[in-house]
Amino acid sequence: MTQNQTEKLQAIREAMLAARNDAHPESHLIGILHKVQDVFGYLPREMMDEVAQTLEIPTAHIWGVATFYHYFNLEPIGRHVVSVCMGTACYVKGAASVLETLKKELGVEVGKTTSDGLFTLQEARCLGACGIAPVMMIDEKIYGQLDSKKTVDIINQYRKAAAEEKSAVGAETRRGKP
């Protein structure tokens, strides 16, 4: 955990202790869950447990809230978020088969993260790039006019980059760097 994260977590714990003494601790729940997601990128189970115990809100209730709002992620997010546009234009141009390709290639369902933690697969509403449909977005970057082969190629570029980075780090470590 970075310095910044640790500080933020500290702030959340203080906010929870304040909320606990409120007549209606549950009115602070959504705000606190937002803050937790800010720090971790998702809602870790241990944190939901901690919120439940501190605010004295039953865990099932927290789970109901966390699963109701699409905003909350219930699982860790991969290093790269792959969003496939399922807007009308993309759909007509074959977004569904792009999505199928990605599911197969990454071996995960929509909303899930690959076991190496590299990709999270998501569906998106219109990404505003209908001219080059079908499109997907990886992190902030848009890729258009996709077909199966192109999609796999792009994914492989990211994999390659990650592998190179890893071996570079490995080499540095072997050279005795921290």
Q: Which of 26, 50, 100, 147 binds another protein (CB under 8 A)?
A: 26
Write down the residue that tokens 């569906």 correspond to.
123
What order do you get walking across the sheet with 136-138 strand by strand?
119-124, 80-85, 136-138, 141-143
Taking the C-alpha atoms of residue 173 and residue 155, their distance in angstroms, rounded to an integer, is 27
To the nearest whole angstrom, how small is the minimum distance from the Cβ of residue 37 to another protein? 16
Count of residues in contact with another protein, rule CB under 8 A: 19
Q: Which is nearer to another protein, 110 or 130 (CB)?
A: 110
Q: Which is nearer to another protein, 8 or 20 (CB)?
A: 20
Q: Which of residues 54-73 bind another protein (CB under 8 A)?
A: 56-64, 67-68
Q: Which of 16, 47, 48, 127 binds another protein (CB under 8 A)?
A: 48
- 45: contact with another protein by CB under 8 A: yes
> Would you tell me how many other CB atoms lie within 10 Å of the CB of residue 164?
10
Q: How many angstroms separate the Cα of 170 from the Cα of each of 43, 132, 144, 150? A: 31, 39, 34, 30
Residues near 99 by beta carbon (within 8 Å), at least 6 away in sequence: 84, 86, 110, 123
- 53: contact with another protein by CB under 8 A: yes
Q: Which residues bind another protein (CB under 8 A)?
A: 23, 25-26, 45, 48-49, 52-53, 56-64, 67-68
